[in-house]
Every structure is written in structure tokens, then in C-alpha cells.
A and B are shown apart, each in its own frame.
Chain A
């Protein structure tokens, strides 16, 4: 059943890399215009799960997926145009990966791929995306310069702007601040808080405190399963499962 608040939901999702089961029977409903954080130790399946949400795992050899993933009410693993899917569900990675081209062209790349040629429309998109990613003021005078000359934190905001340029509905973030210094990290966190007004955000983070600071809901993954999923207030103050408690209080292993 799809509730009004639900943007993505999965049903009994299993995923194997060869013989190794990476996800076990994952059923979860992710809310629209909220920030959902996935936490858990390395190898727990949280990044793998994130990647199933825009079919990034299709590119991995030997991967076998069963179960269902719905975006709104459509199963994205059935008759779904992958280009269209990735336009609606964008992704930001751990390390900033700007294209080796100008700041402007980085942002205009996606809209051009989707057929926008008008210079004035592209200008608008570039400005709006950079503003939404809280980067415009820092780069507006050097849009033609190579994006690789930006600092790490700026590059990551550029990557976020690049995702926003194609007007996605969902933004997936795979440890978007783990390669950044503390101040750039806090800037990205503020940005995420702004973005959730218009986008559904799903973020994987190793930094548990970060999940606490920015997310509305948190899911704790362990050995390919979701152990506990609920409001971040609850998960961080009165978790129900002993394993969640052990993980968030650092008494794990």
C-alpha cells in the first residue's frame, strides 16, 4: 500500500553478489521530502541497498536481485527506462567527482543530455542549481574555470548542483561528506536540511552523529537486514533493539 507520504518502497528485496547474500528480505517505506539515513557497520548492505534504488547495481557483474522496488507506484525493476529513472533519482558519491570541464559545463551537462539547447534556459538552470546547492556566491565570477580547481567541499556542492540541474525527485547520497573537512561537512549538512523542502533525500553515512544531526528517519542495517527503522529521535534516544543500542552507543563487536 502506498501512503501519501511514501516516495519509495521496497518489498522483500534480496540481493546476491555471486553466492554472497548482501541484502536479505528488505522491506521499507521511505517518506517523501524527508531525510532518511542508513547507518550500520561496514559491509552491512546499506550502500548496496542505496544503489538498488536507482539500479546502480545493474552495472555490477554477477549480481542477482529479487523482490520489488517501487518509485511512487511503479516497480523500477520492471519495464522502466533507466535514463528516466536516474533523472528522477539522482546520486551523489563519497568522493566528489566533477567532470574535467568548466563549472558551467558540469551543471549544463545533464540538461544538455536531456535535450536542452537554449543558452538562456541553460544559464537559468546553472544559476538556479548552483544557488540551490549554496555554491553560487562562491563561483559566479568564474563559471568558465575548470571545476577541478575548486576545493573538495566546493566540488561536492558542485556535484549536488549537477544532480539538481536535471530536477530529480529523489537524491541518493553515499557518504557525501566522508572526504570533506568538518566545516565543509557542516555546510553540506545545512544544505541537505534546505534541500529536503523540495526533494526526498536518502543518505548513507558512517558518521552516526551526522545521521542524528540531519535525518528525520534512520534505518539501522546489520548483515544485510534492517534491524530497526524509525524516527531519528527515537532511534537515538530509545532504540528498541539491543543491537541498535549497542551500535549507536559504540559498544559493538
Chain B
């Protein structure tokens, strides 16, 4: 075997990606716990830890650019490095959304929630699972798992519209709930975005393995959604 140094650098990159991935997973887990239990200390932790995730993004980006500048990566090596460069942006955005949710949790610290949280945690679990699986798929270069992630995006979208509809109905009957309703709407939107970023990551994993980059979400109900987004499917 030749290119020992380059091999070691690629391994190092892989380790950095795993670390960043686990930080992102942890941030989702914690932000959901904090929201459910109104645990303000935990919410602050999530909020502060976002800086650590951002630092990882910068470090990995620099590492990738150096490898491209100095090591002439080709074929699979080139795909691995460009995939890493792309998905750290998605991971960083997922971390941002965790922090966004934590911020809302902190803002609602002293309020009783307008409704028991049922669909929001369900949606959060789904989004979290998608993120975990997409990162796992990247780490293991698992094509099938990556495709599964893309396929489950519709479920999250359905839940999103369900929650929005529910919140609209709450506000219709009680205008004073509007502030919290808007906050929960943001939370639902952030979770929906997390799932989108997980889908992006999964699509890049498919590219990494096959060399083809396609959009793999299904959008079964796309036309209906645009005409009337809040009809329960």
C-alpha cells in the first residue's frame, strides 16, 4: 500500500465527521427533552453547544480544502471529500435548528403549554431518527439506509401539516393562545427542516457510494399540498 499519509488523513476526516454527527444527534435529543420537560438548563446547554458544532464545521471544511489542495483526491476519494464538505453544512443547519427550538423553550419557560405535546414529540422523534440514520448511513456508506431516510421524509411532512392545522384550530377558538401557537408552529417548521437536511445528507451518501446525485424524496401529494395544504391525508 502506498499513500499512507493520505490514508491517515482520510481516516482522521472520518473520525471528525463521526464526532460532529454525534454532537448534532445529541443536540436534537436534548432540545426535545428540554422542550417536553421545560428543562431550561438543558435548553441553555443546547443553545451554547451550537458553537461547538459550528467550530467542527469550520475545522472539517478547512481539512477538506487542504486535502483537495494538497493530495489530488480522485474517484472515490474525491467523492468522499466533497460529500463531507456538503453534508457538514446540513449538519450545521440541523444544529442551528436545535438551538432555535431551545431558544423558544427558554422563551416559554414560565408558560403552561396550550395543549399536551403529542404530535410535536412524535414529529421530533421521526426527525431525530432520520438525522441519526442519515449520519449512520454516511458513516457506514450504507446505500439502503440512505434511501430509507429519503423515503421517510413524507411522513414528517404529513405530521407538520397536521400540527399546523391543529394549531390553527386552537387559535380559532382561543385567540389568547396565538403567541404559543406561533412558537409551536416555528418548532414544527424547524423539525420539518431538520428532516429535509437529513434527506440532503442521505442523498449525498448515495452520491458518495454510486457517483449519482439525485433528489430522492417522493412528494406523493405535492400537487394536493399546494392547492390545500391542511387537508388531512
Contacts and interface: CB of A to CB of B under 8 A. Distances in A.
A186 B2 contact: yes
Nearest to A232: B70
B5 A190 contact: yes
Interface of A: 183, 186-187, 189-190, 193, 209, 212-214, 232-233, 236-237
Contact of B3 (A190, A233, A237): A190
B22 interface: no
Contacts of A232: 70
Interface of B: 2-6, 65-66, 69-72
A195 B149 CA distance: 46
Contact of B66 (A183, A189, A233): A233
Q: 10 closest pairs, A vs B, by CB?
A: A212-B70, A186-B2, A236-B69, A237-B69, A190-B4, A193-B5, A233-B66, A236-B70, A209-B72, A190-B2
A233 B70 contact: yes
B5 to A, nearest CB: 5
A237 B65 contact: yes
Contacts of A212: 69-72
Contacts of B6: 213
A214 B72 CA distance: 12
Contacts of A193: 4-5
Nearest to A190: B4
A183 B3 CA distance: 10
Contacts of B70: 212-213, 232-233, 236
Nearest to A212: B70
Nearest to B72: A209
B111 to A, nearest CB: 50
Contacts of A190: 2-5
A186 B72 CA distance: 13
Contacts of A186: 2-3
B69 A183 contact: no
Contacts of B69: 212, 233, 236-237
A187 B66 contact: no
Nearest to B1: A190
25 contacts: A183-B2, A186-B2, A186-B3, A187-B2, A189-B2, A189-B3, A189-B5, A190-B2, A190-B4, A193-B4, A193-B5, A212-B69, A212-B70, A212-B71, A213-B5, A213-B71, A213-B72, A214-B5, A233-B66, A233-B70, A236-B66, A236-B70, A237-B65, A237-B66, A237-B69
Contacts of A187: 2
B59 to A, nearest CB: 13
Nearest to B71: A213
Contacts of A189: 2-3, 5
B68 to A, nearest CB: 9
B62 to A, nearest CB: 9
A187 B3 CA distance: 8
Contacts of B4: 190, 193
A9 to B, nearest CB: 26
Contacts of B5: 189-190, 193, 213-214
A84 B55 CA distance: 50
Contacts of B3: 186, 189-190
A237 B69 CA distance: 6
B214 to A, nearest CB: 31
Contacts of A183: 2
A183 B4 CA distance: 13
Nearest to B68: A237
A177 B145 CA distance: 45
A55 to B, nearest CB: 32
A168 B108 CA distance: 70
A189 B5 CA distance: 9
A176 B6 CA distance: 20
A190 B5 CA distance: 7
Nearest to A182: B2
Nearest to A186: B2
Given A190-B2, A236-B69, 5 more contacts: A212-B70, A213-B6, A233-B70, A236-B70, A237-B69
Contacts of A214: 5
Contacts of B71: 212-213
A244 B160 CA distance: 54
Nearest to A215: B70
